[in-house]
Chain A
Amino acid sequence: MKVQLFATCLVDSLFPEVGEAVVEVLAKAGVEVWFPKGQTCCGQPALNAGMRAEARTLALHTLEALEAEDVVVVPSGSCSEMIRHRYPELLADEPGQLKRARRLADRTYEFSEFLVDQLLVADFGAALPLVIGYHPSCHLLRGLGVDRQPLRLLEGIAGASTERLSPECCGFGGMFSIEMPEISAEMLERTLDRIRSSGIELVAGCDVSCLMQIEGGLRRAGSSVRCAHLAQLLAGREAGLK
C-alpha cells in the first residue's frame, strides 16, 4: 500500500522531526510513504480568519497537490478535519470541484485513525517509562470523533502509563492566540494546571499546533515537562517536539 503524507505547514516548517517520525511509523506498519511536492498549507488559517476566497484557493491548490489516488495521511486532527468537512463546504457551489473534494475527503485520514482503524495496528514495540498525559485536541475529538485510537496507540508503549487530560481547549485557536492573547494564556494556564496537578511527565497529542502552545507554555513556566506528537513516541523518540 502507498500513502501520500500531507505533512501540514507547521510540521513541514517547524517540526520536521514529527514528519520523519510519522514516515518511520507508517513504514513500520507496512506502507510505502511519499511526500507530494506541491503541498503547502490546507488553508485553515485563512478560513478561520473569515477569508473564504483565500481558503478556497488553497483548498484547490491542495486538491491539485494531492491529486494522486493514494490514501492521504495527515498528522493533525485539525487539518484532517479541514479537508474532510470544510473543503466540501467551501466548494459546495462548484459541482466539479465538489466531486474532487469529496473524493479527497473520503481517502484522507488522521494519523492515529489510519493506524488503528484502517491498518489495524497499535503495537509498535516502543518503550517509555513515563506518565504520559494525552491531550485530546478539539478538532480531532469533536470534529473527527477520534479519541480511542490515540489512546490505544499509547497503551501499546511499554512502561508508559497514560492519563487522558480533560477535553478542554488549550487556548491555541490559530489567530486567536495572538488576537486574544490574554484569554488564550488563561486557557493555556488551565491546561498547564491540569498537567501539573496530575504528575504528568510528558504530554502527548496528535496536533502540533496545540502541542506548540502547551510546550511553549511549559518552557516559559520553567517546567521540565515536554510535549511530543504521538508519532514521535511510537518511533521511540525522546520527549520534546523538536
Chain B
Amino acid sequence: MTLAFRQRARQAIADPQLQRLLDQNADVRQQARMEALEELPQSGELRGRARSIRQQVIAELGAYLDQFGTRLAENGIQAQRAANAAEANRLILDIVQKHKAKLVAKSKSMLTEEIGLNAALEAAGIRPVETDLGEYVVQLRAEKPAHILTPALHLSTKDVAETFRRQLGASLGDDVEQINAEARSRLREVFLTAPVGITGVNFGVAETGTLCLVTNEGNGRMVATLPPVHIAVMGIERLVPTLDDLAVMLRLLPRFATGQAITSYVSLIHAPRRAGDPEGPTERHLILVDNGRSELASTPAAESLLCIRCGACLNACPIFREAGGHAYDSVYSGPIGAVLSPGLFGLEKYGHLGKASTLCGACTEACPVGIDIPGLLLNVRAEVEPKPLGRGLRLFSWVARSPTRFRWAQRTAALGGRLLARRAGWITQLPGPFAEWTHFRDFPPFASRPLRSRLRRARRPAKDRLPELEPEEVAPAAAQEAGEPDDRINRFEAKLKALGGEVIRCAEFEAADRIVGQLYVLGASRLLSWGPVEPILFTVLQRLEREGFPVVQPEVPEGARGTRAIRAFGEFPVGLTGAVAGLADTGSLILSGGSRRSLLPSLLPETHLAVVRSKDIYADLEGWLRAVGSPYVAGSSNLVLISGPSRTADIEMTLTMGVHGPRQLIVFLIE
C-alpha cells in the first residue's frame, strides 16, 4: 500500500505546474502565517489555552454535546445526531426532499466531502452546487479538493478559465477578475433560487448553542441567510465550551489558516428567523456527525480530534509540498490527514499514510493547538504490519542487542563496503532495497575501524581552561498595549484600511451629509438600508426621502414571494447599516440582525456603507463579549463580524475582492 502513495507522489513530482503551485502555496501561506503571528505577541499563551480548551471538550465530549443540544433546542434549531456517513446523508436527504428541493446551495464543508453528501444528493435527483469559488471549480471538473482550505490549489488560472469556458460555455480570458465575475453572477442565481442551503460549521459553542461560520467570500453568509431552509453539518468534536473560548479560537484559526487576523465574515448563528426578523431561513437544522469520532476519542489517537481544520500543517509539510493533496487519496490530506484518515476510515486503506512523513515536526510547530502529529504517526506505523524492510529492521534490532554481534556486523559491513566503494570515495551503487538510496545520492563506506575500536581508553581532560561564556541577558517581556480610547480608534482605522476597507471620520452633526454625499459620489441610484434605528440613520433616511431618493428597508416575505423580493434587493448597488460595535485589533464591525436591522444591505450590494460610533469601538472580541455578556450574543438569531470587503484567493493565491459579498466597504466613524 505504501506504493500507492509513492506512485501518486511520483506523478506529482513529474508535474512541473503542480510543483510550482505547491511551492507557491507553501511559500505564501507559511510567510503569511509567520507575519500574522509576529503581530500576536501572546500567541504562545493563546495556543496553550486553545489546546486545553480543545482537550477539555474531547475529554468530556458527551457532556458538552448534551449542553449544546439543550441550547440548540431552546433556540429553535432542529438538531439530529448521525452515527455514520450513510445516516447523515439520509437525514439531510429527508429534509431536502420534505421541501421538494431540486437544487441545493452549498458552502464549503470538508465534512460533507467526508460523508459523500453530493453523490448522495445527486443519486436522489437533487443538484448540489458548491458556492465557494475553489470548490465550485473542483466540482465543475468532477475532482476532489486538493487541500482542505484551498480546494483548487492544483489548478492554474488558465486551467480554471478553461474549465469555465468548457463546462459553462462562458466567454472569458485567463483572468482571475473575469472568472470571479462569472462565478459571482452564476452563483448569485443559485443563492436566490435554491430552497435549501447547506453549510459546515467551524465551531459550535456549547454554552450558547452558537453555530460559528468563518468565511471570506460571503457565500457562507448567503447560504445560511437567503434560502428558506438552512442545514448545517458539523462533526461532533467541533465544540468549544463558551463564547470566550470561541474568541480564543477565532484569534488563531484565520491566522494559522491564511495569515489573516480575521476572515471577512464570521457568523454567529443562534436561531431560525424569529418574529420581527426581516429575513433568514424559517427552518434551521443541524446534523451532528459522528462517523468514527467517538470511537477515535477512546484511543491514543484522540489527540487528532483537537484539530480545527486550519490547514497550517499541510502548508508547512515538506512531503505535502512535493506530493500534493491528491496523493493521500483522502478528503483529509497532509500530516493531519495521515493521522485522521486511518483513524476515521480504517487502517486497511489508509494505514500506509503513516509513512508519508520524515517526522520532521514542522506540522506540530505549525499547529495552533500543538497536536503531536509525529507521535500520532508513530502510533499509526505501530499498528501496520511491518513490510520486508521491517523484517530487516527486526534483524538489525536483534544484532544491536549484543555488542558482540554488533561488532561482527560492523566488520561484515565494512568488508562489503570496501568491495562496493570505488577507491576511497563514497559508494555509488548499493544492493537490494538500499539501491533506492544510491539512485539519488552516494553512500559513505563503513569504517574499517569503528569508533569502539579507536576509543579503548578514556580520554583525559586538557589542562588549559577555555574562556567561559557570559550568561545571556533575558529580554524582558514586552509590555501589554494599554489600549487608550484614542489608540483603539486609530488601530481600528488602521486595521480596517489594511483589509481594504475605507474609513471616513466625521462628527455627529456632519455625518448625514457625508453619507448622502457618498451616495452621490458612488453614483448610486437607490439604497438598501436599515431602518431609522439610531439618530444618524434617521437623519439620512429623512434627507433622502425629502430628496426623493429611492430607499428600501428590506423585509423578506415568506415563500416564493421571498425569493422574488431577495432578487429585487440584489439589484441595489449600495447598502447602508449601523453596527453594534467595532473591534480595534481586527478592524471588524459587529452587526446583529433583527427588526429594522436587515443583514441584506451588508451582504447583497456591491458597496456597503456602515456607521459606527467611536464609543462603540472595543479593543477586541473578548472585550466586547465582556461588555455585552453572552446572553446578548445568544439572543441574536444571526450576528456577523465583518472585516473588510468580501475576498478570495482561491485561484493561484491571487487576492480579489467582492466574490459574493460587497466589493467595497466604507465605514463612517462618528467621533
Chain A residues within CB distance 8 Å of chain B: 1-2, 5, 7, 9, 11-16, 19-20, 23-24, 26-35, 37-41, 43, 45-52, 54-55, 57-58, 61, 65, 89, 116, 120-124, 138-139, 142-143, 152, 168-169, 171-188, 190, 212-213, 215-217, 219-220, 241-242
Contact = CB atoms under 8 A, between A and B. Distances in A.
A23 B444 contact: no
Interface in B444-460: 444-447, 449-452, 454-455, 458-460
5 contacts: A20-B455, A28-B462, A120-B471, A219-B426, A220-B428
Given A5-B455, A12-B452, A35-B455, A49 B358 contact: no
B662 interface: no
Given A9-B400, A219-B442, 11 more contacts: A7-B451, A27-B460, A29-B466, A46-B394, A54-B397, A124-B466, A168-B362, A176-B357, A182-B9, A212-B444, A242-B445
B165 to A, nearest CB: 33
A35 B390 CA distance: 30
Contacts of B399: 40
Interface of B: 2, 5-6, 9-10, 13, 318-319, 322-323, 354-362, 364-365, 375, 378, 380-384, 386, 389-390, 393-394, 396-397, 399-403, 406, 410, 413, 425-426, 428, 433-434, 436-437, 439-447, 449-452, 454-455, 458-462, 465-469, 471
B465 A30 contact: yes
A126 B167 CA distance: 67
Contacts of B389: 49, 175, 178-179
A194 B360 CA distance: 18
Contacts of B383: 50
B496 to A, nearest CB: 34
Given A33-B458, A187-B322, A178 B10 contact: no
Contacts of A2: 458
A177 to B, nearest CB: 6
A242 B424 CA distance: 10
B403 A40 contact: yes
Q: Which 5 interchain pairs have the tightest Cβ spacing?
A: A173-B358, A50-B381, A216-B441, A169-B360, A34-B458
B451 A40 contact: no
Contacts of B322: 183, 186-187
B358 A171 contact: yes
A142 to B, nearest CB: 4
Contacts of A178: 389, 433-434, 436-437
Nearest to B463: A30
Contacts of B436: 177-179, 181
A170 to B, nearest CB: 8
B338 to A, nearest CB: 12
Contact of B443 (A139, A143, A216): A216
A123 B401 CA distance: 38
Nearest to A177: B437
Nearest to B382: A50
A175 B359 CA distance: 11
Contact of B396 (A29, A45, A138): A45
B6 A182 contact: yes
Contacts of B466: 28-30, 121, 123-124
Nearest to A89: B375
Contacts of B397: 41, 43, 46, 51, 54-55, 57-58
B197 to A, nearest CB: 41
Contacts of A188: 440-441
Nearest to A10: B444
Contact of A16 (B358, B382, B433, B449): B449
A15 B400 contact: no
A149 B566 CA distance: 64
A237 to B, nearest CB: 15
A179 B451 contact: no
Contact of B444 (A15, A20, A121, A180): A15
Contacts of B443: 212, 216
B462 A169 contact: no
Given A7-B451, A33-B458, A212-B444, A51 B13 contact: no
Contacts of B402: 40
Contacts of B447: 13-16, 242
Nearest to A1: B461
B241 to A, nearest CB: 29
B462 A58 contact: no
Nearest to B387: A179
B435 to A, nearest CB: 8
A61 B406 CA distance: 13
A32 B459 contact: yes
Contact of B403 (A20, A38, A181, A186): A38
Given A9-B400, A50-B386, A171-B358, A220 B442 contact: yes
Nearest to B441: A216
